[in-house]
Amino acid sequence: MDIELLQRIIIDYQNKKNVILTSRDLRVDFVPNMAIGIVGSRRCGKTYRTHQLAGEMKAVKSPQDICRVQFNDHRLSNISAENLHVIDEAYYAIYPDKRGTEDVLFIFDEIHRINGWEDYILYLLEERTHKVVITGSTATLIRGQFASQLRGKILPIELYPFSYKEFLRHYQIKEDTVSSRGQSYLQNALKKYLKQGGFPGVLDIDEDRHIELLRTYWDTMLLRNIMEVHAKEHINISVLRYFADALVTRIGCPMTTTKLAKDMKTNGFNFSMETLYRYLSYLSDAYMINTVEIFSESERVRARNYKKVYCIDWALARAVSYGAGVDDTRALENLVYIELKRRGYDVSYYKTREGYEIDFVVTDNKKNMELIQVAFSLKDESVREREFRALAATAQYLKPKIVRVITFNEESLESKDETVIQVVPAWKWLIENKQKKENT
């Protein structure tokens, strides 16, 4: 590996002016002798979060304390795991006095492209002054093979597309939930957020290009995060694409892999059930699709009941779904689900013996429980009665701490069968609820 090339890459980044970016709320707190792994879907902003981190460090220390290498740089296409040690050698050849005396931040973007990279991270962590951040678009960085090989030396932090608060920050809209003017701005912003989604790169372009770009994101995720990552398996792209598109069209709906398989075979596809289960795990690992199980302590009960499926971004789901597409209520439900995951909650759904469904049974790390229904509007009396009846019936059994309905723009305090139900507009809930786990 050319040490002079690496020195040029390191110095070029140190001399680069700070990019003006919308700041992200995800905290990056270092733990001694552990690497930080920032993971999430492609295009959610992982690289820019590391730029923000570097900018934060430049504000209090010298730019010379940063060694950043992006492994999607074509100049590094031939680097192997055996040559990774040249990176710190190149850095310390420039700054020999820093070795062992000053903290140095190593940022490695997409290092998992290099087979065998884990040993190099472990080697760097042997030096107490090294702070290491890696990024990647696959959950296998934080579980499974990679996590095992890093032997508990990586602290995972999941980054999602823009939250509503970050979306407001991007468009410089104040979080004013009190004044009529402020509420109007927040309602309009939520309408825009529902339409545009949270991917940072698509927010400032026209609507037609916005949809085209989201479809490109989806295609790239399938290609780069599944086809290339699992290249040795010779994945059937037609089966994978149809399966992925069918899943994303069903966000917020009951889903069984068996039912999907039956529909696909009716349409002429040939595959095994094991193949679909494997593809589903790949879609989950690539942060494209999440599935939600029924709330139950019994693994058997969870296994025999249907799952609900959600996309990493509701606007992405709308851009690639077929047929009738994704309506406003399901888009809002997907938005709420992603926000719950961003806040670090465990999320399930529930179905009563009478057949009433609760969209989300939410528990935090202290096992506090909340029941949440999502309804775009409660103006239709039949919708109102259905949502309240389901919540009241479930609350009598599960005894949650909070029971609420999240709507687009309605707010009230209701009661049903002695159950107090909070009706809250999404634009207020998205701002006022505090994050439960700061690093997830």
Q: Are residues 217 and 347 in the same domain?
A: no
List the 154-158 sheet strands across, edge first: 66-70, 104-109, 130-136, 35-39, 154-158
Q: Are residues 280 and 386 in the same domain?
A: no
Residue 377 falls inside a structural domain: yes
Written in H, E and C, the secondary structure of 136-180 is: ECCHHHCCCHHHHHCCCCEEEEECCCCCHHHHHHHCCCCCCCCCH
Q: Are residues 307 and 367 in the same domain?
A: no
Mean pLDDT taken over the chain:
93
Q: Are residues 309 and 355 in the same domain?
A: no
Nearest CA-CA partner of 108 in 39, 189, 158:
39
In DSSP terms, 349 is beta-bridged to 294
Residue 75 falls inside a structural domain: yes
Q: Please tell me the total count of domains within the chain.
A: 3
Q: Are residues 83 and 128 in the same domain?
A: yes
- Measured from the Cβ of residue 16, the count of other Cβ atoms closer than 10 Å reads 12
How, if at all, do strands 307-311 and 357-363 pair?
A: unpaired
pLDDT at 18: 79
Residue listed under structure tokens 């992982």: 46
Radius of gyration of the chain (CA): 23
Residue 166 falls inside a structural domain: no
Q: Are residues 341 and 295 in the same domain?
A: no
Residue 96 falls inside a structural domain: yes
Instruction: Give the tokens for residue 296.
Output: 């139950």
Last residue of a domain, one of 294, 326, 358: 326
Residue 224 is classified by DSSP as: I
Q: Are residues 281 and 341 in the same domain?
A: no
Q: Are residues 94 and 142 in the same domain?
A: yes
Q: Are residues 319 and 377 in the same domain?
A: no
Instruction: Give the tokens for residue 103.
Output: 């903290």
Residue 421 falls inside a structural domain: yes
The Cα–Cα gap between 259 and 265 comes to 10
Q: Are residues 367 and 426 in the same domain?
A: yes
Inter-residue contact 430 to 339 (CB < 8 Å): yes
Inter-axis angle of helices 180-196 and 328-342, to 10 degrees?
A: 100
The Cα–Cα gap between 113 and 438 comes to 28
Write out pLDDT tens, residues 417-438: 999 999 999 999 999 855 444 3
- Measured from the Cβ of residue 62, the count of other Cβ atoms closer than 10 Å reads 12
How, if at all, do strands 289-292 and 307-311 pair?
A: antiparallel
Q: Are residues 221 and 121 in the same domain?
A: no
At 49, which CATH number? Answer: 3.40.50.300
Q: Are residues 112 and 23 in the same domain?
A: yes
Residue 310 falls inside a structural domain: yes
Last residue of a domain, one of 284, 311, 326: 326
At 338, which CATH number? Answer: 3.40.1350
Nearest CA-CA partner of 359 in 347, 341, 376:
347
pLDDT at 141: 67
Residue 171 falls inside a structural domain: no
pLDDT at 371: 98
Inter-residue contact 137 to 285 (CB < 8 Å): no
Task: Report the predicted TM-score, pTM, of the whole model to 2 decimal places.
Answer: 0.94
User: Can you list the residues of the chain whose pLDDT is less than 50?
Assistant: 435-440
pLDDT at 280: 97
Write out pLDDT tens, residues 387-419: 999 999 999 999 999 999 999 999 999 999 999
At 316, which CATH number? Answer: 1.10.10.10
Instruction: Give the tokens for residue 363.
Output: 């528990």
Last residue of a domain, one of 326, 357, 386: 326
The Cα–Cα gap between 153 and 220 comes to 30
| Secondary structure (3-state) at 307 | strand
Instruction: Provide the residue range defining the domain that includes 62.
Output: 3-159
Residue 173 falls inside a structural domain: no
Inter-axis angle of helices 85-94 and 118-125, to 10 degrees?
A: 40
